[in-house]
Structures are given as C-alpha cells and as structure tokens.
C-alpha cells in the first residue's frame, strides 16, 4: 500500500516537472488550496486506514450518530449539510454493513431513528485512532498556535460562504 501511495505522488510531481505543466493562478486561490489539502487528507487517511474500509464521510456520520443516538435522518442531513438524496444511500450502505441501526421513530412513523450498532462502535473506535494519528501529523506541520488559528480561519470561511449571495 505504501508503495502505491508514494508512487502516485511521485508520478504526479514528475509529470508536472517534466511536462512543463503550470498551474497558473491556482496556487493563489484559497479554494484550490483547500481542495488540495482535503485531497491530501483523504489520500493519507485511505493509506493509513485502508483495511477499515471507511470513507471520511462515513466516519463523520458514525461520529455524529455516536454523539446523538436516536438522531433522525432529516436532522443528520441538516446538521451535516448533506441533502437527503445523498444521505439516504450513505446510511443504507452503513446499515448493510451492520454499522448502524435504523428504526421507525416512535413520535413520527415516517422518520427513522439512527443509532450505532456494536460493530459500528468498534469500527468507529478503530477509525478514530487513525484520524487522531492524522490530526497529529497535520498539527506537527504547524507552528505553535497555528492549529487553533487555522481552525478559526476555516470556520470563518465556512460562515462567510454560508452568508454569501
């Protein structure tokens, strides 16, 4: 796995250097750099947690359910900003893997109450260890105090884009 990960990164860098490819103004855009950081984060997480077969989005959903047992699918969609047409298949995948339980909500039979299964709890614990390892790797790349600054700046960007017309 490590060889494939390292080779892909090396091949891409060599292609950029040898192919005369320029990125133009892309490196000066915050959005471009955010996307590059996200892609690097996802690749790294896949590299270190490949055997767990859990995507970052699935990890987020399991974490949400762990902290909010019984949350409805509608509330999970709202809090994550994921539309229900995307949320439904994601939850179906987790349910098929036996990682979550879906039961009709007592107060609204049209709605589902979502909880983690014991298998989901175990997988979440294993994945959280890998995510925390990755968080340490990223924090080590920053100077003291920059981690908090970065989180603050990212939250302000999210808020600004939510309010933008």
Predicted confidence (pLDDT) at residue 36 exceeds the cutoff of 80 = yes
Q: Mean pLDDT over residues 36-59, rounded?
A: 94
Predicted confidence (pLDDT) at residue 39 exceeds the cutoff of 90 = yes
pLDDT at 1: 46
Predicted confidence (pLDDT) at residue 115 exceeds the cutoff of 80 = yes
Predicted confidence (pLDDT) at residue 6 exceeds the cutoff of 60 = no
Between CA 25 and CA 164 the distance in angstroms is 23
pLDDT at 21: 87
pLDDT tens for 120-162 read 999 999 999 999 999 999 999 999 999 999 999 999 999 999 9
Right CATH for 24-163 from 3.40.630.30, 2.40.50.100, 1.10.10.10, 1.10.287.130: 1.10.10.10
Where along the chain do its domains lie? 24-163
33 neighbors 27 (Cβ within 8 angstroms):
yes
DSSP letters spanning 78-137 = HHHT--HHHHHHHHHHHHHTTSEEEEE-SS-TTSEEEEE-HHHHHHHHHHHHHHHHHHHH
At which residue do the structure tokens 């339980």 appear?
101
What contacts 24+ positions apart, CB below 8 Å, involve 133-140?
A: 133/48, 134/41, 134/44, 134/45, 134/48, 137/44, 138/41
pLDDT at 108: 72
């Amino acid at each position: 796995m490590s060889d494939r990960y390292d080779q892909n990164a090396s091949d891409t860098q060599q292609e950029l250097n040898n192919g005369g490819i320029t990125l133009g103004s892309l490196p000066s855009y915050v959005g471009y750099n955010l996307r590059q950081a996200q892609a690097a984060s996802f690749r790294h997480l896949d590299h270190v947690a490949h055997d767990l077969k859990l995507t970052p989005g699935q990890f987020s959903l399991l974490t949400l359910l762990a902290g909010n047992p019984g949350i409805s699918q509608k509330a999970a969609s709202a809090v994550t900003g994921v539309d229900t047409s995307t949320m439904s298949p994601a939850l179906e995948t987790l349910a098929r893997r036996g990682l979550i339980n879906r039961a009709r909500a007592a107060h609204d039979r049209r709605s589902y109450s979502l909880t983690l299964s014991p298998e989901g709890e175990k997988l979440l614990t294993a994945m959280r260890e890998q995510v925390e390892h990755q968080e340490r790797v990223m924090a080590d790349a920053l100077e003291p105090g920059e981690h908090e600054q970065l989180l603050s700046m990212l939250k302000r960007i999210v808020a600004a884009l939510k309010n933008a017309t």
